[in-house]
Amino acid sequence: MYSKKVIEHAKYPLNQGKLDDADLVQPGANPLCGDALTIYLKMKDNKVEKVMYESEGCAISQAAASVISDELVGKSADEIKKISTEGMLKLLEIDKLSPSRIKCAVLALETVKVAFTKSIE
């Protein structure tokens, strides 16, 4: 379950920090295991231009935030909403994850989805 990609991103995370001119700011958490993050999204022409995040938690949740901060750039809200749990695991190159840890893997993605849903409301 700890793919090379997970270890690499957990050790050397990309795009960590606060984005001062973000268009969307969304906190998210897994209260049961203590993973917590805030996602900052900068949009341009209805597509993601930059993603940054502040986070604490396990390696899977950290790696997932790092991976999507890279992967989501250039995608629209609709495209991002279509990314499934399986799609997220694929991005992390994880074959199999126990049900209790899946929520770690999808926390960052789900938080981004919440940010888009809230921005429409």
Partner 1 sequence: MLDPILIKKDFPILKEGLVYLDNTATSQKPNQVIEAVANYYREANSNVHRGIYDLAEKATGMYEDSRAKVAEFIGAPSAKEIIFTRNATEGFNLIAYTWGEANIGEGDEIIVTVLEHHSNLVPWQRLATKKKAKLVFWEPNEEGILSVDTLKSLITTKIKLLAMTHMSNVLGVITPVKEAAELIHQAGAIVVVDGAQSAPHIPINVQEMDCDFFVFSGHKMFAPMGIGVVWGREDILRGTEPFLSGGEMIQDVTKDGTTWNDLPWKFEAGTPNVGGVVGLAAAIDYINKIGFKKMMEYELMLLNYGIDKLKKIDNIKLFGPPVTLSLSSFDKLRTTLSQLNGSKGEIVERGPIISFALAKVHPHDLASILNEDGVAIRAGHHCAQVLMNFFKVPAIARASFTIYNTKEDLDVLAEGIIKAQKLFA
Which positions touch partner 1 (CB under 8 A)? 1-2, 7, 10-11, 32-34, 36, 56-60, 98, 101, 104
Q: Measured from the CB atom, is 2 or 74 closer to partner 1?
A: 2
Q: How far is the CB of 86 from partner 1 (least distance, A)?
A: 19
The length of the chain is 121
- φ/ψ of residue 41, rounded to 5: -120, 130
Q: How far is the CB of 78 from partner 1 (least distance, A)?
A: 32
Structure tokens at 40: 């900052």
Q: How far is the CB of 54 from partner 1 (least distance, A)?
A: 14
CA distance 48 to 7: 26
Q: How far is the CB of 92 from partner 1 (least distance, A)?
A: 14
Q: Measured from the CB atom, is 14 or 58 closer to partner 1?
A: 58
Q: Measured from the CB atom, is 7 or 25 closer to partner 1?
A: 7
Q: Measured from the CB atom, is 43 or 102 closer to partner 1?
A: 102
